[in-house]
Structure 1
Amino acid sequence: MSGTDGDDAILTIPNVISLIRLLCLPLFLYLLFGLDDRFGAALLLGALGATDWVDGYIARHYDQVSALGKVLDPVADRLLFFVGIGGILLDGSVPAWFAWMVLIREAVVAVTTVVLAALGARRVDVTWYGKAGTFFLMFAFPLFLASNSTVSWAGTAEVLAWATGIPGLVLSYISWAMYAPLGLRALEEGRADRAAAALADDRS
């Protein structure tokens, strides 16, 4: 699986899956804009979204969590969201207000995460609401795309897109509201950890 163990592992299955997701993003854009194949792009985007849960499961249950994976996985998640949703927005297959509400939330969370890390906060774990919201949204956007394709069940796809998209949007904003107190607590704990480490160094 990898040439090293534990946090230093690089070629783990989850990391390879995350890398494949990144490499497939240009293919998604080519299907959507180059071939004008909305259904093919929808299938690929749905598959890429599903792999996020697959690599997380493998990492946790088969002891393949690595330092690289902790960085690569969220980067792949964010790029998948921005490229996927941005592409569908440009294509006109999703209502602009819906896409922008998701993109703005993702952008704020991404910037906040970087700022907290720069300030020395500990890592903020994703809440259940955030995970559930992402789960629904990763179904909704491919369905919006499919609803604008030539498939015979395009009308059903639109209904399913809204049925998963609205709960996903609500849950993602609930998780966003919870992020502020969690971020402040992570910042306080990070500072406390650094103070304790500095005190231990002084005593040694």
Structure 2
Amino acid sequence: MSRRPARADDAQPTADAAGPVGPAWRILTVPNLISFVRLLGVPLFLYLFLVAGADVAAVVVLAVGGMSDWVDGYVARRLRQVSRLGELLDPIADRLYILATLVALTVRDVVPWQFTIALLARDVVMTANLAVLRWYGYRPPPVHYLGKTATFVLLAAFPVLLLAATVPGAATVAGAIGWGLALWGLGLYWLAGGLYLGQTRRLVRASRSARAEVG
């Protein structure tokens, strides 16, 4: 059974059984460093793909960034270094990778603008959803496994689509695989968004009921 998102006034833990809890410990962790490196990969990919024209190197950067999506979370759990900063950095890195890749691939005519709009529209809806949660005093909900799966599939699809566009001999096979992953990821992305919207709706109803009882 999933737990509700923490409210803004909820108490935060003050100790970690695995080690120190000072600010430096919470920031300078292995998973956080991995997330920082992933963030640096975003402008590097854009430079290689849109400025330098180094398509092969761009494919490598994109593939490494996509494959490392699960690494920081795995390392955080393995080393017991889960932190609030890490919980924020991971989805930020995911969103930036998806946004940067979509813009770059659309500019280079690798993906059609209709696909880009379909993906970005979901993020617009989720931004509005987060604003509603904030209004009622809730923090962003924990990332659902379906949302993580959708992100992983999309980040796997993009380098394959780029490979299909830059290596003529791989166009047929890589294109079929890439678009299969991309459309699957798009469907999961919206399905996860629907789950978040449903969760927000329940929280808003509960909050209104509580306020009505108090009033």
Of the three residues 170, 184, 192, the one matched with 1:175 is 192
8 Å contact from structure 1 (residues 137, 165) kept in 2: yes
Asked if 1:96 corresponds to 2:113, the answer is: yes
Deviation at 1:50, TM superposition (A): 1.7
Give the Cα–Cα distance (whole angstroms) in 1 for the partners of residues 107 and 162 of structure 2: 11
What amino acid is aligned across from residue 61 of structure 1 in structure 2?
R
Q: What's the counterpart of residue 126 of structure 1?
A: 143
The residue number in structure 2 matching 1:57 is: 74
Q: State the match for 1:74 in structure 2.
A: 91
In 1, the alpha carbon distance for the partners of 2:147 and 2:166 equals 29
Shift of 1:55: 0.2
Q: Is 1:26 the counterpart of 2:43 in the alignment?
A: yes
- Identity level (%): 35
Matched, 1:44 2:81: no
Q: Deviations over 1:43-92 (max 9, x none)?
A: 21121122120001111222111121122222222111111211111111
- Per the alignment, residue 9 of structure 2 pairs with none
> Which amino acid letter does the alignment assign opposite residue 149 of structure 2?
A
Aligned-pair RMSD on alpha carbons?
2.8
The one-letter code of the counterpart of 1:145 is L
- What is aligned with 1:11? 28
Normalised by the size of structure 1, how large is the TM-score?
0.82
- For residues 133 and 23 of structure 1, what CA distance do their matches in structure 2 show? 22
Q: Which letter does structure 2 place at the counterpart of 1:150?
A: V
Give the number of equivalent residue pairs.
193
Say whether 1:155 aligns with 2:177: no
Looking at secondary structure, tell me which structure has more helix per residue.
1
Unmatched segments (≥5 aa) in structure 2: 1-18, 211-215
In the other structure, the counterpart of 2:100 is 83
Query: In the alignment, which residue of structure 2 is the partner of 1:198?
Result: none
Asked if the contact 1:120–1:190 (Cα under 8 Å) also holds between the matched residues in 2, the reply is no
Gaps of 5+ in 1: 194-204
Confirm or deny: 8 A CA contact 2:38 2:93 kept in the other structure: yes
Report the residue type matching 1:112 in the other structure: N
Report the equivalent of 2:8: none
Structure 1 residue 38 displacement after superposition: 2.5
3-state SS of the aligned residue for 1:173? helix
1:114-136, CA deviations, whole angstroms, 9 ceiling, x for partnerless residues? 44235311441222322222121
**Residue 59 of structure 2 contacts residue 162 of structure 2 at CA under 8 Å; is this kept in 1?**
yes
CA change 1:9–1:96 in 2 (3 A) is same
Q: Cα–Cα, structure 1 residues 11 and 113, in superposed 2: closer, same or farther, change >3 Å?
A: same
Alignment of 1:161-200 (within 5 A): 161-187=178-204
What is aligned with 1:143? Answer: 160
Determine whether 1:35 maps to 2:52. yes
Deviation at 1:160, TM superposition (A): 0.6
Structure 1 Cα separation of the partners of residues 158 and 75 of structure 2: 25
Residue type matched to 2:85 in 1? Answer: L
Aligned partners of 1:190, 1:5: CA distance in 2, in Å? 34
